[in-house]
Amino acid sequence: MTISEVLRQLRDTRVTSRSSAPSPTTAPGRIFFHLGAAILLVLLSLSTALTATAQASEWNIDHLMQSLSHAKPGRARFVEKKSLTMLENPIESSGRLLFIAPDILEMHTLKPKNEVMRIQGDVLTIDHQDIPLEDHPELQAFIDSIRGTLTGNRQMLERYFRLSLDGSKGNWTLTMLPRQKKLADLIQHILVSGSNDTVTGIETLKTNRDRSLITIIQSPTP
Amino acid sequence: MRENRVFVIATWLAILLVGGLLISTAKFTANLSEFLPRSPSAQQAVLNEQLRQGVLSRQIMISIEGGDAAIRAKLSNDLVRKLQGNTAFLSINNGSSNGDTRIFHYIFSHRYLLSPTVNQTLFTVAGLHNAIANSIDLLATPGGEMAQSLFPNDPTGATVQMIQSMGSGTKPATRDGVWSARSGKSALILAQTQASGSATDAQQAAINEIQTAFAVAKSEAGSVATNTTLMMTGVGVISVASRDTIVHAAEWMSIISITLIIFLLLLIYRSGIVLILGLIPVFSGVIVGISAVALGFSVVYDITLGFGTALIGEAVDYSIYFFVQSGPSATSSEEWIRKYWPTIRLGVLTSIIGFASLLFSNLPGLAQLGLYAITGLLTAATVTRLVLPTLLPSNFKSRDLSNIGEQLLRLTRVLSTMRPGVVLLLMAASAVLISHRNKIWNYDLSALSPVPAAAQRLYTQMRADLGVSEGGYLVVVSAPTVNATLAAAEKADNALQKLVENHVIAGYESPARYLPSVTLQQERQAAIPPKDVLERRLHEALLGLPVKASLFTPFIKESEAQRTLSPLTLADLRGTGIGMLVNSMLVRHSNGWDAILPLKAPASGIVDTQRVRAGLARHHITGAMLIDLSDISNKLYKNYLINGIKLSLSGVVFIALLLLFALRSPMRVFRILLPLIAAVLTVSAGLVSLGYELNIMNLIGLMLIVAVGSNYALFFDQGDGQVHGEIAPRTLASLVIANIATIMGFGPLAFSGVPVLQAIGVTVAPGVFLALLFSASFSQHTTA
């Protein structure tokens, strides 16, 4: 048994809970799924946020998607407010977002802890630790969704989510509902809201009632 | 006379019988470590241990090729499932979800005994407050998702910290849920055998298990799997394969050599009886040689057996001299003893002096070859001298080869006109060697490896694909007991942690991370307060934090459980993955235990050993060794090669001294040695200019040229039976036949496919031929 093997086991195990397990949620595989899913959710929303440059006169999903296909580098600041059921009060983090076409997305948290998360192609990196997404087929949904959003590929996005657009052009909300059971077990819905071509917020509600609200403050592209 | 004869034959048979018994009980082995030192330094001992018994030696890397990715993944999973419960394997893993979570559970359920974050302050009010505040900060970040599910059980973050400190390893790629080569064209599996890599039979059994399981999986999968194949590599697999290669090569080469020599002798003698008699000294030599090795060493290396075929080619010379030189009648054997034996005796002595230098080599492989050659040649010569004459039937008649000798003699006269040519060749060879002086020797250990280059490539490739580390840098600390060794490792951990922080190294592993010393475990347990105290402190600690104490009921319960656990010992871990991991870094030896702490090099790939040593010294860690594995084995081999060159040169010097003592004429010694040195240099120059780098086995070959060639040179030199100051025709004929037999003995080795044997073959076969040619051209002659 080598060290790397242990690490591999730690990372690769996606075993569901056993009777001997201290807690069903502590199996490392689940942790990584949660982790990966959460990160990708954020990135998915970001990809929408950063590439949204609405050009269409008529406001519908197709036009939103079309405008997304003209991806260009984007920067923004974010503030995330998490309401976790296990905590009394919401907790907050903030930092910078970066998108570099075609496939680099980075979320750099500055407060309360410095943490860099990055997806480049098929590799997710958290604080310089690679988590190759190809090893986690269940996370592939998110990747495809992100790609779908970045490239304005509505079909790809709709393979995993049911989409619906509400509101007016000046105050719209894109609702994303998971189609597949694996995702639906985890996420209740994702709401991306915006005004014209600017995404202002992403709200995620998980099935365990944990809620996250990301507010995005667009900064001009340098 | 008759009594004497009975005595000689009885003694001879008794020796053969004892030899046969010794061989039948001897242990034979084939592994790469035969060219590792016999009396190693402490550092080398660790290296030896790692190669023979270490984790590395237990790995079998399996690759499934052909078919498509889906069928490879299916076969991979089937194979793993079939082998999972097999006692031959400690573990078998293909990266699929079948893997178990025991290591995680071990860490989780012993976190307060294992985590370095547990100290006197962690469980104080302030300590808990800080740790929980820190964990909440972590929860706020997106990466904190991982910590969230652990938070109620472990608000101190000890588990997360443990997992993070284990660092990241290189990870194989995955396809269809199982490990795959980077090319994507094969599925990979990593197995750990129960037996160490040097237990070749057990490794063979494990390999068979894998092959059988694969065959079953393949047939179950049906026609879609028809194109798939199984490949395996690893230290054990290579040991098994190289044993097979060496044994097969040794067998084949022996058969080819013996057949060729038998044909030659039949052609010359035209008599079955003479043939059988002629082979008696050789086989006596082989039996005594092997049994001497079995007696002198605890095991006989298979490579020594392979070398035995070559010896046949040389030992047969003595009986050839006997039959050819003594002429057609039985009565002439006494005359042969009187006339020729002194020369042969001197030849045997020079050969033995040459091989004696090998005995002093601290590479057991070479020492075995030396002992084998010395006892083998001595026996063959003695049997020829003492036993062979007594075995001759009274009406014995052998062919007179004077006619052939006469013709050869005419050829020799022509050759001697070419003396200046030999001198020129000698000079040219020297020039070649001088111009290539930096490229003559191959200092790489792998040059000796009996493993074909293709197998070595497969091994390297699969290691890279699986992310199995190559060894690299190790820190080793020792102590008499497990507990003391773990305590020493903990001390080293502190020093290494500082080095990580200063970026001298990127990380390290330690057995104490998974199994701290009992002392440290008890210290950590003592830091956990009893349940009621902890509850009280937790309440106080949560003031100002957005979390209710009731969330941490699991934490209170588990802290109490871990506080009262009996400390973990090595015995508790037996048979578990953690146990294997700890055992791989905790090695027992005669004086106690070694803890082996592998270091991870920083991005530059180079560990500044001086700073590591200084760091260890600052923490007063005495007796810690820092080992660079990749460097040490090559350095080691280089030393042996240089040592070997010195030994061979001293062998040549001693041969010269012996000749000087026996012949009492510097001029004659010079005339004997000059053709031999010319042959040695010409062969070396030839090999070097063909782009071949010489290794230690070529060196042995060069010495063999001198050892064998000296016999020819001596005969050409000896004035004994020379007619008109020339070599006798029969003697010349015997030399030529002996020479052909020697070439037949060594030549096939060049095609054996085993680098060690090949090296000897390509050196000796042309070398002895040149030695004869050059000796002939330097022989005394009447003016033609």
Could you tell me the pLDDT band of residue B187, with boundaries at 50, 70 and 90? very high
Other CB atoms within 10 Å distance of the CB of residue B43? 17
Residue-level pLDDT at B383: 92
pLDDT category of residue B727 using cuts at 50, 70 and 90: confident
DSSP symbol at A209: S
Among B55, B139, B146, the residue with its CB nearest the CB of A31 is B146
Interface size, chain A vs chain B, as Cβ–Cβ contacts under 8 Å:
179
pLDDT of residue B650 exceeding 50: yes
A-chain CB neighbours of B143 within 8 Å are 35, 39, 109, 115, 117, 126-127
DSSP run (H or E) holding B379: helix B364-382
Structure tokens at A209: 């009632």
**DSSP code string of B166-208:** T------EEETTEEE-TTSSEEEEEEEESS-TT-HHHHHHHHH
Strands B27-29 and B299-301, how do they pair?
parallel
Contacts of A191 (CB under 8 A, 6+ apart): A173, A174, A175, A176, A201, A202, A203, A204
Contact indicator for B672, B710 with CB cutoff of 8 Å:
yes
Instruction: Clarify whether residues B202 and B279 are in a common domain.
Output: no
Instruction: Inspect the interface and report whether the beta carbons of A84 and B148 lie closer than 8 Å.
Output: yes
User: What was the pLDDT predicted at B542?
Assistant: 93
The reply to whether B123 and B69 lie within a common domain is: no
Same domain, B322 and B433: yes
Across B238-331, the runs of DSSP E, i.e. the strands, are: 299-301
Residue B677 within any structural domain of the chain: yes
In chain A, which residues have their Cβ closer than 8 Å to the Cβ of B174?
A: 132, 134-135
Can you tell me the distance from the alpha carbon of B108 to that of A25, in angstroms, rounded to the nearest whole number?
A: 12
Q: What is d(CA B22, CA B292) in angstroms, rounded to the nearest whole number?
A: 9
For residues B130 and B266, state if they share a domain. no
Contacts of B103 in chain A (CB under 8 A): 6, 9-10
Q: What does the alpha-carbon distance between residue B722 and residue B117 come to, in Å, rounded to a whole number?
A: 91
Q: Residue A115: how many CA atoms within 13 Å on its side-chain side?
A: 20
Residue B166 scores a pLDDT above 70: no
Pairing mode, if any, of strands A161-168 and B173-175? unpaired
Q: Which of B92-106, B196-210, B473-487 has the lowest mean pLDDT?
A: B92-106
Residue A2 lies in a domain: no
Q: List the single range of B120-129, B146-155, B376-385, B425-434 with lowest mean pLDDT.
A: B146-155
> Does A22 sit within 8 Å of B105, measured CB to CB?
yes
For the record, the structure tokens of B8 come out as 């000689």
Is residue B784 in a domain? no
Residues B144 and B261 in one domain: no
A8 → closest Cβ in B105, B138, B169: B169
| A4 neighbourhood in chain B, CB within 8 Å | 169-171, 467-469
> The domain containing residue A202 runs over which residues?
26-219
Region B426-447: what's the mean pLDDT? 79
B190 touches chain A (CB under 8 A): yes
pLDDT value of residue B679 = 93
Q: Do A34 and B146 touch (CB under 8 A)?
A: yes
- Average pLDDT, integer, range B240-269: 81
Mean pLDDT of chain B: 82
> How close does chain B come to A59, measured CA to CA in Å?
32
Residue finishing a domain among B217, B233, B249? B233
Q: Residue B127 pLDDT > 80, yes or no?
A: yes
Under 8 Å between Cβ of A112 and B140: yes
**Closest Cβ–Cβ partner in B168, B468, B577 for A7:** B168
- B75 with B126, same domain? no
What are the angstrom distances between the C-alpha of B568 and each of A6, A9, A201?
19, 22, 51
Scanning B57-76 for CB atoms below 8 A from A yields 59
- Calculate how close chain A gets to B150, using CA atoms only, in Å: 6
B254 and B218 in a common domain: no
- Please determine, for residue B649, whether its predicted confidence score (pLDDT) is greater than 70: yes
Domain of A116, CATH number, reads 2.50.20.10
Residue with the larger pLDDT of the pair B683 and B50: B683
**Closest by alpha carbon to A82, among A105, A106, A104, A109?**
A109
Q: Average pLDDT for residues B280-294, to the nearest whole number?
A: 90
**Two tokens at A24?**
């069903």
pLDDT of A8 reads 38
Q: Which residue of A has its CA nearest to B546?
A: A88
Report yes or no on A8 lying in a domain. no
In-domain check, residue B339: yes
pLDDT at residue B159, rounded to an integer: 84
> Mean of the pLDDT values across residues B460-472?
69
Better pLDDT: A17 or B195: B195
Q: B177 phi and psi, to 5 degrees?
A: 80, 0
For B274, the domain range is 241-287+301-354+401-451+634-777
Q: Give a yes or no: residue B506 inside a domain.
A: no
In total, how many domains does chain A have? 1
Same domain, B207 and B246: no
> Looking up tokens 């608000």, which residue turns up?
B155
Of B138, B509, B558, the CB nearest to A113: B138
- Which residues touch A102 (CB under 8 Å, ≥6 apart)? A71, A150, A151
- The C-alpha atoms of residue B244 and residue B695 are separated, in whole angstroms, by 23
**Contact yes or no for A15 and B97 at CB 8 A:** yes
Record: contact A9-B577, CB cut-off 8 A: yes
CA distance B276 to A177: 92
Please judge whether A9 and B99 are an interchain contact, meaning their C-beta atoms are less than 8 angstroms apart: yes
Residue B165 in domain: yes
Cβ-Cβ contacts under 8 Å for B776 (sequence gap 6 or more): B412, B415, B416, B712, B716
Q: Please report which residue ranges of B693-728 form alpha helices under DSSP H.
A: 696-717
Chain A, nearest residue to B104 by Cα: A10
Domain of B210, CATH number, reads: 3.30.70.100
Closest listed residue to residue B33, CA positions, set B242, B203, B184? B242
- If one compares B251 and A10, the residue with the highest pLDDT of the two is B251
Q: Do B133 and B256 fall within a single domain?
A: no
Q: Which residues of A touch B150 (CB under 8 A)?
A: 26, 31
Give the position of tokens 């690759």. Answer: B63
- CB proximity B96 to A under 8 Å: yes
* B149 in Cβ contact with A34 (< 8 Å): yes
Strand extents, DSSP E, B510-585: none
Torsion of CA B188, B194, B200, B204, to 10 degrees: -50
CA distance B678 to B778: 11
Instruction: Say if residue B541's pLDDT is above 90.
Output: yes
Each residue's pLDDT tens digit, B24-40: 888 776 654 555 555 45
> What are the Cα distances from residue B562, in Å, to B2, B110, B151?
88, 7, 17
- In this prediction, residues B138-154 reach a mean pLDDT of 79
* Span B497-517, pLDDT tens digits: 888 888 888 788 888 988 999
The shortest C-alpha distance from B448 to chain A (Å) reads: 28
pLDDT of A142: 62
Helix, strand, coil percentages, rounded to 5, for chain A = 35, 40, 30
Taking the CA of residue A174 and the nearest CA in chain B, the distance in Å comes to 22
CA B716, B718, B723, B729 dihedral sign is negative
Of B625, B651, B660, whose CA–CA distance to B705 is shortest? Answer: B651
Does residue B507 fall inside a structural domain? Answer: no
Asked if residue B8 belongs to a domain, the reply is: no
Any domain includes A145: yes
Q: Each residue of A182-207: pLDDT tens digit?
A: 778 878 888 888 777 677 788 888 88
Structure tokens at B723: 């007619």
Q: Which residue of B has its CA nearest to A41?
A: B142
Q: What is the pLDDT of residues B571-583, one digit of tens each?
A: 888 766 677 778 7
pLDDT score at A41 = 61
Q: How far apart are CA B761 and CA B166, in angstroms?
A: 51
- Final residue of a structural domain among B233, B256, B272: B233
State the number of CA atoms in the 13 A half-sphere of B11 facing the CB: 12
HSE-up (13 A, CA, CB side) for residue B486: 20
DSSP state of A197: T
Tell me how far apart the alpha carbons of residues B392 and B414 are, in angstroms, rounded to a whole number. Answer: 37
Which positions of chain A have pLDDT values less than 70?
Answer: 1-59, 64-73, 101-103, 121-124, 126-153, 197, 219-222
Residues of A in contact with B546 (CB under 8 A): 87-89, 91
Minimal Cα–Cα distance from B508 to chain A, Å? 10
- CB-nearest to B174 from A21, A87, A134 is A134
Does residue B749 sit in the same domain as residue B657? yes
User: Is B351 in a helix, a strand, or coil?
Assistant: helix
Q: Which of B58, B135, B141, B192 has the highest number of chain A CBs within 10 A, making it the mutation to test binding with A?
A: B141
Give the DSSP H/E element, type plus range, for residue B640: helix B629-663
**Which residue did the predictor score with more confidence, B438 or B116?**
B116
Give the C-alpha separation, A117 to A109, whole Å.
8
Q: Looking at the predicted structure, is the pLDDT value of residue B209 above 80?
A: yes
- If you ran DSSP here, which 8-state letter would residue A87 be given? S
State whether B145 and A115 contact (CB < 8 Å): no
Domain CATH code at residue B712: 1.20.1640.10
Tell me whether residues A117 and B143 touch, CB distance under 8 A. yes
Burial class (CB in 10 A: 0-12, 13-18, 19+), B31: buried
CB B412 within 8 A of CB B776: yes
Q: Which among A13, A86, A117 has CB closest to B101? A: A13
> Which residue among B142, B152, B580 sits closest to A1, beta carbon to beta carbon?
B580
Q: What is the pTM of this model?
A: 0.60
Name beta bridge partners: B586: B595
Give the model's confidence band at B426: pLDDT under 50 very low, under 70 low, under 90 confident, else very high.
Answer: confident
* pLDDT band with cut points at 50, 70 and 90 for residue B230: very high
- B309: Cβ contacts below 8 Å, ≥ 6 apart: B250, B253, B254, B257, B745, B748, B749
- The ipTM (two decimal places) reads 0.74
CB-CB neighbors (< 8 A) of A21 in chain B: 101, 105
Pairing of strands A198-206, A211-219: antiparallel
**Preceding omega of B328 cis (within 30 degrees of 0):** no
> Is the predicted pLDDT of residue B145 greater than 80, yes or no?
no
Can you name the residues that pair with A147 across neighbouring β-strands?
none
If 0-12 CB within 10 Å is exposed, 13-18 middle and 19+ buried, where does residue B179 land?
A: buried
Inter-chain CB proximity B547 and A7 less than 8 Å:
no
Asked if A4 lies within 8 A of B177 by C-beta distance, the reply is no
- B48 pLDDT tier (thresholds 50, 70, 90): low
Residue B51 lies in a domain: no
Q: Are residues B249 and B274 in the same domain?
A: yes
Same domain, B163 and B181: no
Backbone angles phi, psi at A115, to 5 degrees: -150, 135
A105 CB contacts (<8 Å, ≥6 apart)? A43, A46, A47, A50, A97, A98, A99, A118, A119, A120, A146
What pLDDT does residue B470 have?
A: 56
**More confidently predicted of B307 and B316:** B316
pLDDT band at B678 (very low <50, low <70, confident <90, very high): very high
Measured torsion, CA atoms of residues A83, A88, A89, A92, in degrees rounded to the nearest 10: -60
Query: pLDDT for B86-114, tens place per residue?
Result: 888 877 888 765 444 566 778 888 999 99
Q: How far is A14 from chain B, CA to nearest CA, in Å? A: 5
* CA B771/CA B673 separation, integer angstroms: 10
Question: Is A89 in contact with B171 (Cβ distance < 8 A)?
Answer: no
Q: According to the model, what pLDDT value does residue B490 have?
A: 93
Mention every residue, 6+ apart, whose C-beta is less than 8 A from residue B647: B357, B358, B360, B361
Predicted local confidence at residue B512, as pLDDT = 92
Q: How far apart are CA B150 and CA B16, in angstroms?
A: 74
Model confidence at B584, in pLDDT bands (50, 70, 90)? Answer: confident
**Inter-chain touch A5–B149, beta carbons under 8 Å:** no
Taking the C-alpha atoms of residue B562 and residue B575, their distance in angstroms, rounded to an integer, is 22
Q: From B544, B565, B586, give the residue that closes a domain.
A: B565
Could A113 and B140 be called an inter-chain contact, meaning their C-beta atoms sit closer than 8 Å? Answer: yes
Chain A residues in contact with B558 (beta carbon < 8 A): 22
Asked whether residue A17 is assigned to any structural domain, the reply reads no
Interface check B109 vs A, CB under 8 A: yes
Q: Which of B673, B694, B199, B208 is nearest to B443 (CA)?
A: B694
